Amino acid sequence: MDTYLLYGLALAGLSVSFLKDKGKTRIALQKAWKAFEGILPQFLVVLTLVAATLAVLDTAFISRVLGASSGFLGILGASLVGAVTLIPGFIAFPAAASLMREGAGATQIAAFVSSLMMVGIVTLPMEIKFFGRRVSFLRNGLAWLFSLGAAFFVGWVVSL
Amino acid sequence: MKAILKRYAGVLIAAAAFAAFLVLFPHWRGKALDSIGYQARTMLLVIPPIFILLGLLDVWVPRERMIRFMGTGSGLKGATLAFLLGSFAAGPLYGAFPFAAMLMKKGASFRNILIFIGAWSTTKIPMLLFEISALGARFALSRLAIDIAGIAIIAWAIQAASPKQEIERLYAEAEKID
């Protein structure tokens, strides 16, 4: 659904731009291509990292981590799994919901969902390309710590 | 040729490592191949519109306007705009990085860039409705509330911990996007 929205926006933008100025639109497309080509090497590296990670940490494995373990270790495990995986929300949310129905704790699920969204270990090569090592490591480290805090907060609110 | 080889050296290493992975772990081979195909399709589907929007932004939005709306003097209004822009954006987080670099090139402040990245990563409006229906309103809304605080805290902390010359270097890099 996200993707349709993106395409709609891009198409609308392109149409308006084309009606206003053909030359500028051509330059915009050339810039788009150049920017894409610029990030392509990092992009391909990330692709292999994601594929290998998701082969090992498949849905069954994630369910085991989130379902079985409880307590702080479970929360830690859930947030680490979330940090290294790259799963779109429309797949992650229903999976998390079924885990919760099977008895996984809201705190663990929140740790997983939060770090899944905010922390991106496998996409680091792309992040570093634009933000440098220092800022990228800082952002991911802080986001990971924060995802733990967020998990406790969400777990607490759900338990009220 | 040599320049291309140098740029793609990382890709060659990653490809070799991936091939080794497939050979060494036949147990995971099928899944890894399925996964790389699926991920490549998703990325190729999501990436073109993001880069087209980025190109249009570069051509049509004058630097002065971006500075006025999202630059260092833009205050709470700039932060709110960065937050909304990230929240209404669609697509995975890696789509945010090139877009953020373009905003940097156009003169958005570093704080607003960090807020934009934070919002893009976690407070997606289209996703929120989905999260509410899957995990419940209490779960989704409390996560949204704490995440908004988190985005601000993380943006502040990164900025406080980053030396000025490093941020200047990143801006100089972004300037090179053409």
Interface membership of A14 toward B (CB under 8 Å) = yes
Q: Enter the DSSP assignment of B94.
A: G
Q: What is the pLDDT of residues A28-43, one digit of tens each?
A: 999 999 989 888 999 9
d(CA A128, CA B119): 19
B55 within some domain: no
Query: Is B109 in the same domain as B169?
Result: yes
Could you tell me if B148 and B124 lie in one domain? yes
Digit-coded pLDDT (tens) for B9-61:
999 999 999 999 999 999 999 999 998 998 888 888 888 898 999 999 999 99
Quote the CA–CA distance of B105 and B77 in Å, as a whole number.
20
Do the Cβ atoms of B114 and A31 come within 8 Å? no
Residue of A7, A47, A94 lying closest to B39 (CB–CB): A47
B118 in a structural domain:
yes
Q: Please tell me the distance from the alpha carbon of residue A66 to that of residue A70, in angstroms, as a whole number.
A: 8
- Same domain? B119 vs B159: yes
CB-CB under 8 Å, A13 with B53: yes
Residues B59, A34: C-beta atoms closer than 8 Å: no
Place of tokens 């926006």: A9
Structure tokens at B62: 């004058």
Residue B141 lies in a domain: yes
Instruction: State the average pLDDT for chain A.
Output: 90
Instruction: Please tell me the distance from the alpha carbon of residue B80 to that of residue B84, in angstroms, as a whole number.
Output: 6
B141/B146 Cα distance (integer angstroms): 9
Contact B122, B151 (CB under 8 A): yes
Q: Do A17 and B8 touch (CB under 8 A)?
A: no
Instruction: Tell me whether residues A47 and B43 touch, CB distance under 8 A.
Output: yes
Contact B85, B53 (CB under 8 A): no
CA dihedral A92, A97, A99, A105 (to 10 degrees): 110
CA neighbours closer than 13 Å in the CB half-sphere of residue B110: 23
Please classify residue A126 by burial: count the beta carbons closer than 10 Å to its beta carbon, then call 0-12 exposed, 13-18 middle and 19+ buried.
buried
Domain total of chain B: 2
- Distance separating alpha carbons of residues A134 and A153, to the nearest angstrom: 28
β strands within A56-132, DSSP E: none
How far apart (Å, rounded) are the C-alpha atoms in residues B143 and B131? 10
Q: What angle do CA A138, A143, A145 make, to 5 degrees?
A: 100
Cβ atoms within 10 Å of A76's Cβ, excluding its own: 15
Residues B28 and B116 in one domain: no
Q: What is the mean pLDDT of chain B?
A: 91
pLDDT tens over chain A, length 160 residues: 667 888 999 999 999 999 999 999 999 999 999 989 888 999 999 999 999 998 888 888 888 888 766 688 889 999 999 999 988 887 888 888 888 888 888 999 999 999 999 999 999 999 999 999 999 999 999 999 999 999 999 999 998 8
Residue B56, domain member (yes or no): no
pLDDT band at B124 (very low <50, low <70, confident <90, very high): confident
- The nearest CA of chain A is from the CA of B66 a distance in Å of 17
CA dihedral A29, A34, A35, A38 (to 10 degrees): 160
Shortest Cα distance from A18 to chain B (angstroms)? 10
Same domain flag for B31 and B83: no
Which two tokens mark B145?
Answer: 């509330």
> What type of residue sits at position B157?
A
Residue B135: which H helix or E strand, with range?
helix B125-135
Count of other CB atoms within 10 angstroms of residue B159: 16
Residues from chain B contacting residue A144 (CB–CB below 8 Å): none
| Whether residues B44 and B67 fall in one domain | no
Q: Which two tokens stand for residue A12?
A: 């609308």
Which among A54, A95, A131, A6 is positioned nearest to B54, based on CA atoms?
A: A6
Q: Which is higher by pLDDT, B90 or B38?
A: B38
CA angle B133, A66, B14 (to 5 degrees): 100
Q: Tell whether A13 is within 8 A of chain B (Cβ).
A: yes
Clarify whether residues B36 and B67 are in a common domain.
no
Do both B155 and B85 map to the same domain? Answer: yes
Same domain, B18 and B92: no
- Tell me what percent of the residues of chain A surpass a pLDDT of 70: 97
State how far the Cα of B94 lies from the Cα of B117, in Å rounded to an integer.
10
Which domain does B29 fall in, by range?
1-49
Which band of pLDDT confidence, cut at 50, 70 and 90, is reported for residue B154? very high
User: Domain check: are B119 and B163 in the same one?
Assistant: yes
Q: Would B30 be classed as within a structural domain?
A: yes
Which value, in Å, is the radius of gyration of the alpha carbons in chain B? 19
Would B54 be classed as within a structural domain?
no
B90 contacts A139? CB cut-off 8 A: no
Q: What is the DSSP string of A27-40?
A: HHHHHHHHHHHHHH
Does one domain contain both B114 and B143? yes
B123 pLDDT band (50/70/90 cuts)?
Answer: confident
Q: Is residue B14 part of a domain?
A: yes
Same-domain check for residues B66 and B44: no
